Amino acid sequence: MLSPVLLLIILLAVILFKLLSNAFKRKKFSAEASARGCANLPVLPRKGFLGLGRLSEISKANKEGRSPQWFIEKFDETGKDVHTFTASALDYELIVTRDPENAKAMFSTQSKDFEISPHRRDIWSPLLGDGIFTAQGEQWKHSRQLLRPQFSRNQISDLDLEEEHIQSLLNLAVLESGEKGWTKKVDLAPLFLNFTLDVATEFLYGRSVNSQSIHNKSISNQGSGLDSGFSYHLDAGKSWLYTKGLFGRWNRLVHSPQLTKHCKEVHRFVDELVAGRLNGTTKSSAQSDRFCLLNELAKSTQNPLELRNETLQILNAGRDTTGALLGWVFYFLARNDRVFNKLRGIIITDFGRDRTGEITFEKLKQCQYLNHCIQEILRVASVVPMNERVCTSDTTLPRGGGEDKLQPVFLRKGQRVLISNHAMQHRADLWGLDVDEFKPERWEKRIPGFEFVPFAAGPRKCIGPEQFALTETAYVIIRFLQRFDKIENSEEPGPPFFHYIFSNRSGTGVQVRLHEADR
Ligand code: HEM
Ligand SMILES: *[C@@H]1O[C@H](CO)[C@@H](O)[C@H](O)[C@H]1NC(C)=O
Ligand SMILES: *[C@@H]1O[C@H](CO)[C@@H](O)[C@H](O)[C@H]1NC(C)=O
Ligand SMILES: *[C@@H]1O[C@H](CO)[C@@H](O)[C@H](O)[C@H]1NC(C)=O
Ligand SMILES: *[C@@H]1O[C@H](CO)[C@@H](O)[C@H](O)[C@H]1NC(C)=O
Ligand SMILES: *[C@@H]1O[C@H](CO)[C@@H](O)[C@H](O)[C@H]1NC(C)=O
């Protein structure tokens, strides 16, 4: 047994050592920083015991659906014209930026000094495997080289894929109009998520889970052999992963037999499709000349685990994001009659009044106002409000330090930097005093730089936006606005609620009533 006195001495020695070594590190840091011509960042004042006050602030903001706005408030709280600050709680330090110059450095010009956070793999891989979205270094390069070419191919331009599933969506009983041509109140958010799941599974595996047809007796998945339990297990599994995400670097503490079960079911489902493809017994249910990612990948690799991992990662990256974007589109249209009417007029001119009007890639590209509306949605209601990078070596950021907050800053290897897209997209000095308004016209005279990177930029830029997410979104908007000539918001007025789960981004859904146009 150690005597209490000895114990006390050891404890004091440890504390003294810690203090000295921290002071030493700080000194070395300052010396190195000034050698590189760097200045200190403004500091968000610590709050509460050990700085924990900030943690409870953010968790409260998160519950209230306003965590993206909370970050804006923190920039302003730190000081005037602060666009990059440092904050700490316990012994943990974090840098947050809304400076396009810094985003450019991290994503693009200095991307070799930055990596995605290692927590990403810890959090997502139990359900979705390890692949392009979670991998780093050589492993990521391999995944990217495998997948990227598939997304620039013309095969993806197959718009029949959208048409078939949008018809299932428009055929849903909840979109049938009744009295005076109005539908009952309907929540569009989950409808869009089922739609994007159906499109994504067909694109990935050549066979759609047809989640939208579950209510249609005459299809009801017969013949396709696909288990509709997939979407349930996928969503339930993902909501566990979001819980893990909230725990950050302590995410490994979150365990559950339920999560294990959801993972098993999702894997079983995908493994069967992969095995069928590899032994040649599964044919695509739809036209077999249609593009299907699994078929293409199987030409390069026969590793069933790799095929499972990469396809699930694409499903994860592409489905909820596009579904959430569609939700926000109708959320804002339902609150902006002027934009709705203008957009509808343009759509009818360009694409006709009904589905006989052909939609082509060329025509989509040329429909400027439609594209401006989608961009403006991505700006006001950031689908991905926050991104993150970790330094892989000692490095610098170009801006944010010193009195004028314009000096470069020094970063140590391992430091975390959050890029707040939402805050960057809501800076009045960059966007004008009408920054909080939903105003697609602002894009008429604007070529976005790094203040607008909804799909990130540089080597790890999203691989799905042009050919996939934006096309799919535009397509749905066109078919909806051809059929409905009015949309009415059924929710109480108030600021948007930003839920931390993608698939539930607007918190209360997108509650509207739609009015069927005369034909
Ligand atoms: C509105 C829809 C979408 C948004 C807002 C979005 C946004 C993003 C962002 C911000 C990143 C970068 C993450 C980072 O910097 O670490 C990313 C990466 C990625 N996205 Fe998207 N995305 C969307 C749709 C899609 C779709 C439809 C697909 C595929 C079909 C897709 C596939 C990917 C992949 C594979 C990556 C990882 C790329 C890499 O790390 O090399 N995304 N996305
Ligand atoms: C697939 O992901 C799992 C993690 O869930 C990982 O252990 C495995 O090595 C990955 N396999 C391949 C071939 O990428
Ligand atoms: C059900 O599916 C059939 C076959 O695709 C389709 O013709 C019909 O319109 C659908 N009915 C409803 C209510 O979705
Ligand atoms: C979405 O699909 C699932 C699975 O088919 C189904 O149970 C659910 O009712 C669908 N949601 C809506 C809102 O139609
Ligand atoms: C091919 O794979 C499927 C799905 O796992 C399996 O049911 C079937 O028995 C396999 N067929 C052959 C010939 O191995
Ligand atoms: C979405 O978020 C709201 C607010 O937290 C919650 O009440 C609701 O149950 C959530 N819905 C889903 C489908 O997760």
pLDDT digits (tens, 9 = 90+) for 369-399: 999 999 999 999 999 999 999 999 999 999 9
Confidence of residue 283 (pLDDT cuts 50, 70, 90): low
In the predicted model, is pLDDT for residue 262 greater than 80? yes
Token pair recorded at residue 276: 């069928």
- Rounded to the nearest integer, the mean pLDDT of the chain is 91
Domains of the chain: 38-516 (1.10.630.10)
Percent of the chain with pLDDT over 70: 94
Measured from CB, residues less than 6 Å from any atom of ligand 6 are: 499, 504, 507
CA-nearest of 267, 316, 298 to 150 is 298
| Mean pLDDT confidence for 221-245 | 77
Percent of the chain with pLDDT over 90: 70
In the predicted model, is pLDDT for residue 513 greater than 90? yes
Max Cα distance, the chain (Å): 91
Q: Which ligand is nearest to the CA of 190?
A: 4
What would the pLDDT profile of 464-494 be if each residue is shown by its tens digit?
877 789 999 999 999 999 999 999 999 998 8
Long-range CB contact pairs, 431-434, < 8 A, 24+: 431/379
Residue 462 in marked binding region: yes
- pLDDT value, residue 150: 87
For 328, residues 6+ apart whose C-beta sits below 8 A from its C-beta are 377, 381, 383, 505, 506, 510
DSSP letter at 421?
A: H
Question: 486 has which bridge partners?
Answer: 515
| Mean pLDDT confidence for 327-354 | 97
Confidence of residue 153 (pLDDT cuts 50, 70, 90): low
For atom 3 of ligand 5, the residue with the nearest CA is: 276
Token pair recorded at residue 448: 């976005």
In the predicted model, is pLDDT for residue 228 greater than 80? no
For atom 4 of ligand 2, the residue with the nearest CA is: 129
- pLDDT value, residue 465: 78
- pLDDT value, residue 172: 93
Spacing, Cα 151 to ligand 5 middle (Å): 29
- pLDDT value, residue 223: 44
Q: How far apart are the first and last CA of the chain?
A: 90
- pLDDT value, residue 229: 86
What would the pLDDT profile of 98-116 be if each residue is shown by its tens digit?
999 999 999 999 999 999 9
- pLDDT value, residue 246: 81
DSSP code string of 163-196: HHHHHHHHT-GGG-B-GGGBBPPEEHHHHHHHHH
Cβ pair 104, 450 in contact under 8 A:
yes
- pLDDT value, residue 489: 96
CA-nearest of 473, 409, 519, 436 to 82 is 409
| Mean pLDDT confidence for 197-224 | 77
Spacing, Cα 304 to ligand 5 middle (Å): 13
Q: Which atom of ligand 6 is nearest to the CA of 504?
A: 1
Cβ pair 323, 195 in contact under 8 A:
yes
d(CA 59, CA 431): 29
- pLDDT value, residue 1: 63
**Is 275 near ligand 5, meaning CB less than 6 Å away?**
yes
Cα dihedral 157→161→163→165 (10° resolution): -150
**R_g (Cα) of the chain, nearest Å:** 25
From 321, 389, 418, 453, the mutation candidate for ligand 1 (largest count of ligand atoms within 8 A of CB) is 321
d(CA 4, CA 7): 5
**Is 279 near ligand 5, meaning CB less than 6 Å away?**
yes
**Is 228 near ligand 4, meaning CB less than 6 Å away?**
yes
| Mean pLDDT confidence for 451-463 | 96
DSSP code string of 300-331: T---HHHHHHHHHHHHHHHHHHHHHHHHHHHH
d(CA 461, CA 46): 34
